[in-house]
Amino acid sequence: MTNPGFEKNLLSGNTLNRRILVIDDDPGILQLYRATFSSNDDIAAEFSDLTGMEMIDDGFSFELTTATQGEEGVELVRTAFEQGRPFAVVFLDIMMPPGIDGLETATKIREVDTEVHIVISSAHSDYNPTHFRGYVFGHLYFMRKPINPAEVEHMAYNASMGWNRNQQLQKELNNNLAYQLWLNKLFDTLPVPVIVIDIETHQVLMNGGGIQSNHQSTTCYQQLYHRDTPCSDAQGGCPLQSIRENGEPVVVEHSHIAPSGELRRYELHSIPLHNEQGVVHQLLEFSIDMTDRVQQLTEKETLVRQQKQLFDTFRSTAHTMKNSVSYLNGMAERIAKIQDRSGELGELLSDDRVQLIQEQVWMIHTMLQLALGNAKESANQQATLSIQQKIEETLSLFSISTLGKGKQVALQMVHGSDLCISMTPIDCQTLLQNLLNNAADAVDQYMSELLSSGKPEDIELLMEIQDKALIGLQVTHNKNEIQIEVSNQGATIPEKHLESIFEQGFSKKKSGNGVGLYDVRQILRQSNGSISARNHENSVIFLVTLPRVDCDS
């Protein structure tokens, strides 16, 4: 069906081809053509007489070029075509002595330009239109002489509109083909399996990201999971039903057994695609293989848990040993107070030996005290802290937290440098953890917005950045200060909120009270530090400044 606004759009364009070429050896006929294409009032009147209808003045005018011989006309067509300004319509006489006739002229013109519309006009009846069609092919019309100005103008109008309509259709077709090729190339190069599914039939309309399938695999569950039925709930289920009911993007965890027998775990993202009526008719689905990442996180959690258990065991054992040492020290003191230590017992427990025992017991006691120093130290006691050590501890905890799980942090700092601050351990932990949580929350929101937009460029960007570090942590310093920058990729903060985000109760979320930027500023004020926020391209940067102290203090 033709688009109702199509011809209107053509008429309103400023780039319509309205170039007409007339080839006729009769000067009187050429003058009649010139008069026809230069007098709109006369054309309108004759059009009304011919059709009984009033012709609408649409401002459509023509650019006329004339030639008296076929060879001249062919060269005009060739020159116009090579200059990128082809004629839309050629009016052509049959007999033009002494040069080539209309049939040969039309044949040569068609060899130069396959799109120009050719109108054959003649007063003779000794020509066969079928014979012309065998040489000229499409876009061919016939018109009897004597010519009628209104008929000529009407023929020129229809033929030129046909030329422009064909060009626009070809342009749209080329654009669609280019877009389809781009989309196919994009799908083929995606790092994860992506498919477009018909929501009613489960048929795969497009696939990419290295999905291996044959022409018989037409449904999503056949393509991805080699099953003849939709995925079972035990595997994680298919999100089609949820999208049918809610029309919202769905993210589910999914697992299935690969042909090799290995159990793989996936994060399955499904995005509804709407038609012109706003009805969900297709589904864009991509899956991220989480098997290796989950395994790495599990191993990291196990390592952290083992380290904590090891420390707790050490602390418990050390306290037990401390009690034993205290008991031995008390026994040595009691022995030292015994005055009468005669006989073999006296020789064994001489004053020198008792003093040596007391010294050994005291040395063991001192070593245990040193070993338990960090465990016994109060978290609320002001202390000199190593920035490197505290950041490494915080990143370990962040990596297994709910917000930090699966996220990479790009760390930039000079390792091994003596960079210390004066702060309580619990405040330092809260400061760093809250900044990282704030960055992680912003990244989650950014990824969610890319996912829900459904735009090809956003999906492409999402595929590019999903395995990259979207959170940055950089430490710099000078003689008196240490600067800690925590950045995240995502939507920037409106300039009017860059200060108010640190106020109590402020939050960019629809619910809740944020992730603790107010607490961060309060902690820094107590430690003579400061914090500020700024936008940089598509990221937000928080800058923390703290006084630098001597690590030996």
Tell me the C-alpha to C-alpha distance, in Å, between residue 457 and each of 175, 269, 299, 370, 461: 17, 17, 35, 58, 6
Angle at alpha carbon of residue 339, lines to 335 and 342, rounded to 5°: 90
CATH 1.10.3720.10 fits 6-172, yes or no: no
Of all residues in the chain, the percent with pLDDT exceeding 90 is 18
Is the confidence at residue 100, as pLDDT, over 70? yes
Give whichever of 219-233, 344-358, 430-444 has the largest mean pLDDT: 430-444
Question: Where would I find the H helices in 291-342?
Answer: 291-337
Of 125-139, 249-263, 347-361, the range with the lowest mean pLDDT is: 125-139
Higher pLDDT, 286 or 524: 524
pLDDT digits (tens, 9 = 90+) for 269-284: 888 888 878 888 888 8
Q: Tell me, what's the pLDDT at 541?
A: 94
- Fold of the 379-553 domain: Heat Shock Protein 90 (3.30.565)
Q: Tell me, what's the pLDDT at 540?
A: 93
Over the chain, what is the mean pLDDT? 78
pLDDT digits (tens, 9 = 90+) for 226-241: 666 666 555 556 777 7
Q: Tell me, what's the pLDDT at 232?
A: 59
Give the C-alpha separation, 452 to 437, whole Å: 22
pLDDT digits (tens, 9 = 90+) for 387-412: 998 888 888 878 777 677 778 899 99
Average pLDDT (53-64) is 64
Residue in the block written with tokens 């009984």: 52
| Peptide bond preceding 98 in cis form (omega within 30 of 0) | yes
pLDDT digits (tens, 9 = 90+) for 180-201: 677 667 666 666 677 788 877 7
Is the confidence at residue 351, as pLDDT, over 80? no
Q: Are 87 and 58 spatial neighbours (Cβ–Cβ below 8 Å)?
A: no
pLDDT digits (tens, 9 = 90+) for 467-517: 788 999 999 998 899 999 999 988 888 888 888 888 876 665 543 334 478
Q: Tell me, what's the pLDDT at 4?
A: 40
What CATH number matches the domain at 190-289, 2.130.10.30, 1.10.3720.10, 1.20.1250.20, 3.30.450.20? 3.30.450.20
Q: Tell me, what's the pLDDT at 512?
A: 34
Q: Are 187 and 207 spatial neighbours (Cβ–Cβ below 8 Å)?
A: yes
Is the confidence at residue 210, as pLDDT, over 70? no
Backbone φ and ψ for 10, nearest 5 degrees, come out as -65, -45
pLDDT digits (tens, 9 = 90+) for 71-96: 999 999 999 999 999 999 999 998 88
Average pLDDT (285-294) is 77
